[in-house]
Structure 1
Amino acid sequence: MRRFEDFKLGEKASLEHTITQEDLDKFVGLTGDNNKLHVDSDFAAGTSFKKPVVHGWLGASFISTLIGTKLPGDGALWFSQTLDFLLPVRIEDRIKVEAEITQKEPREKFLVLDVKIFNQYGQTVTKGIAKVKIIEPALESASMENPVLERKRRAVIVGSTGGIGKETAKTLAEAGYDLILHYSKNREASEELTRSLRREFPLQNIFSVRATFNDANSIREFKNEISRYFDSIDVLVYSVSSKLVFVPFEQSNDEDFLRHLAANVTVPYWMAKEFYGFFDSRYSPCMVFISSMAADQPVNGWLGYSTSKAGMNALVKGLALELASVKIRVNAVSPAMTETDLISEVPSKARLLIEAKSLRGRLARPADVANAIAFLASQKSDYMTGEILRVTGGQFSI
């Protein structure tokens, strides 16, 4: 939680949301405001607006989201707001809510925010002034009084709803970690995983955080959301990959190739760039990326995937060198074909061939990979960095 002194004049935050019919229906159901101008197309057609207008307070309610989760965030007490509704908002409009600190009142410890809401055309639809008091803890925690006290290791698992990510979450929870479980689309699966782990490990802090990584700024927002729960982390596990589909070279396309590069090189680079300053150097901090045996043994029809995983391996070794000065270890786990949904479209013939090459006589299981990740995440691997740990069932020995 940030203190009043931490906030600076001119500091900004924003969020975006597309207004849907479902949003409007829920707002009407909750408030009872079924004014025909908002809900009746025929009625609205007879007015100067011509189409139904979204309730002004529906859009303005996202000011609360911005204040409560981003600026100032946790500990904010929103006690005053002025609003001018300048232009109508319609269903399917995408609004952007922005807030900027324009004044600080040190005696009462409150911030004055200039708040604006824009539509997708950049027009200001709503504006106002918010006043927010910063509520700070009455007592320092024991960890603040004695910063060297032992605490649980903290890990962020990016891609926690996939087969390997989910198994890694369970394995690290069993090892006593506090966890941030990232998901992009599968909210139901993430919430179920979070609930089950909380039931099994009630003394650990486990949170689910949604994020989609489109650019470097989206990763910055992801880290800012994590900072609501943890002031630092010890482990970052990147377990995201693009879907595996056999595509012969002559049928391949740029879009597919670049999609693999984004998932396996570009986003991991952005992730490392944004998070390296968020680690606690006292607890053997580390990053663990999930690579693939395909980086060393390219598979026909997987050109984009194999190339991007090889790029990930190079990134891991480069980051290990670059981040050694700040005591961050960087490693990768490189499994053979693993029994997850990622290989659902892999032909059975290819699967049988991999099984035949394995000295264990089977494909890798998510638990095999998760155990390797847990080792690299632990302080037991403190001397390991820049390594690509193969989990292949002995396929490279024959």
Structure 2
Amino acid sequence: MSASPVKSDPAPRLLVRLAAALFLSYMAVALPLAALPVSILHWPGYGNGLAGLAVGIAFFSTILSRNHAGAYADMKGGRPCMRAGLALYVTASMICVLAGLSALPFTIRYAILITGRLLLGVGESLTIVGMLGWGIGLMGHERAGRVLAWTGAAMYGAFAAGGPIGLALYEHGGIATLMAVSALLPLAGLALVHGVPATTPHAGARPPFWRILGTIRWQGMAVALQGVGFAALGAFLPLRFIHAHWSHAGLGLTCFGVAFVAGRVACGHLPDRIGGLKVALFSLMIEAAGQYLLWCAPSPLLAFAGAVLTGAGCSMVYPSLGVEVVRLVPPHMRGTALGGFAAFQDLAYGATGPLAGLLADRFGYDIVFLLGGLCATGAVTIVLALLNAPVAEGTR
């Protein structure tokens, strides 16, 4: 009697499919990231602070919607949550197309951008939390680190490609063309996830959101401090290149993104294998080195090197600390916990844009990378404290 063939696990293949859909869809976020500040700075009376606000405002609406997105993913499942987020990506980008109408006053165009960016932030919250819940449901919590790693690889792969492509679209067609393309790509993402099966939500009592935040507060603070360097680089590295009259302003974002994705692909298994805190500690030290190099870089080559180090360092911080978060909460609260965890990072992203813009207006663009380096160093001290703290039984 012959042995029956062993069925291969379809979950990794489905996770890659979700990640590919997220890569396409996240272009709605990545394409405008570098181009918007460049565009707004050409408007009369608009400086770095308002340019940074237009970028960072999306993260505030993401923060405010994380609790609801997490609860939605926990109770209804990751599939409907992610699909709703992708639909909002399309809607938000179509609203922002109107900001490209030159007949409108600049104040109206700016208000349209802010409206669209706020809606985009809600879409991001639903999309990412839904992707994480869907992916963990398919892969199992013991492979949560891989889900977090692939999610980030898709996001920042889009970030790497989106920076220079977004600038090129803006230069050739303006804001309207840029935003129209940003609306089309999430439609492709929706088509790609159509055949991926849903997962069954877990049941259980739901403690208050603020209690969950208290449970994960130190991991959240560390990932927030890490996010300052990322946000500073995304919003202000192209502007620093332009101000210094260096060529290839969008290439620094590509260097960051390529290093980020390479780190996720090469090291995505490490948090599940050796523990998230050890990986996070090493990663934060690399990020800090990259930010300090960007702060003092006298040439574009060294600035590119700083972007690579920052990308490699930022790469594994979120999934490494996210693995620790997943271990701290019961299965039916994972979406809410990961939503709250991401809210810490969103807060850093949202605050860094306008605050760093004000610093740049007064002290120049270099100062924002010093800020990023100091924040990453602060995150190192938090992770060191967590490594040396007593481990509660059942949390590891």
TM bracket, shorter-chain basis: under 0.3
TM-score, with structure 2 as normaliser: 0.27
TM-score of the superposed pair, with normalisation by structure 1: 0.27
The answer to which structure has the higher helix fraction is 2
Ranked by relative contact order (alpha carbons within 8 Å, sequence separation 6 or more), the top structure is: 2
Larger radius of gyration: 1
**Quick check: which one's strand share is greater?**
1
